[in-house]
Amino acid sequence: MPVRTRRQRAADAAIEVIAEQGMRGLTHRAVDARAGLPPGSTSSCFRTRLALLDGVLKRMLELDEASLVQLPADAWSSREQVTATLVGLLEHWLGPARARTRARMELYLDAAGSTLLRTELDTASERFLRLAADGMRAVGVPDAGNAARMLVAQLDGVLFDALARSSPAADGGAWLRYAAETIMRGAPPTDHERERGRG
């Protein structure tokens, strides 16, 4: 595992603070304590609260990119493979990346009443939307852009349900597979499926 810089350690700790305590709990002092850094370390990296939040968003985007580049080359090769990809992503977002997922939701709710972080959040969202649209297009789903937006909205719903109520991990992932299969069944038929239906 690569050695993290002090800036990365502070940003990672800030993500955990937001996930555990919400936006109100985010202070430079709380991040120092969470990261095990000497007092004043976080403020030397991020002078203001807004700078700290900007650092959190950039770190989340960096970690998201690292996760997405690890997807297999055939992740979007068929409806069945897309389902498997979605299951893997959900398991990751609710497992190793659970704090990041919760923090992201807190950030979106906080940004709803402010434009300060909206641009950065939209940039982070667009990356996955483009990837999803490319995937929908690759398997022949018409109107791939809107299909991808609906896909992301449904995934967000599954994630919110898991975080706000109870984790589906307790049943061995069966719920996540059911959710992914249901989402994909609701996706428009691909060109190949329409052609097959005419045959």
pLDDT band, very low/low/confident/very high, at 196 (cuts 50, 70, 90): low
Question: In this predicted model, what pLDDT tens digit does every residue of 40-54 receive, in sequence order?
Answer: 999 999 999 989 998
Average pLDDT over residues 1-20: 92
- Coil vs helix vs strand at 195: helix
Average pLDDT over residues 112-119: 71
pLDDT band, very low/low/confident/very high, at 194 (cuts 50, 70, 90): low
HSE-CB for 29 with a 13 A CA cutoff: 2
**CB within 8 A of 69, min separation 6: which ones?**
none
- Coil vs helix vs strand at 110: helix
**CB within 8 A of 83, min separation 6: which ones?**
177, 180, 181, 184
Nearest residue to 101 (alpha-carbon basis) of 60, 47, 145, 50: 60
Kindly report the average pLDDT of the chain as a whole number: 86
Question: In this predicted model, what pLDDT tens digit does every residue of 53-68 receive, in sequence order?
Answer: 989 999 998 998 888 8
Question: In this predicted model, what pLDDT tens digit does every residue of 118-152 receive, in sequence order?
Answer: 777 887 788 889 988 988 888 888 888 998 999 99
Question: In this predicted model, what pLDDT tens digit does every residue of 87-97 receive, in sequence order?
Answer: 999 999 999 99
Per-residue confidence (pLDDT) for residue 122, from 0 to 100: 81
Per-residue confidence (pLDDT) for residue 198, from 0 to 100: 54
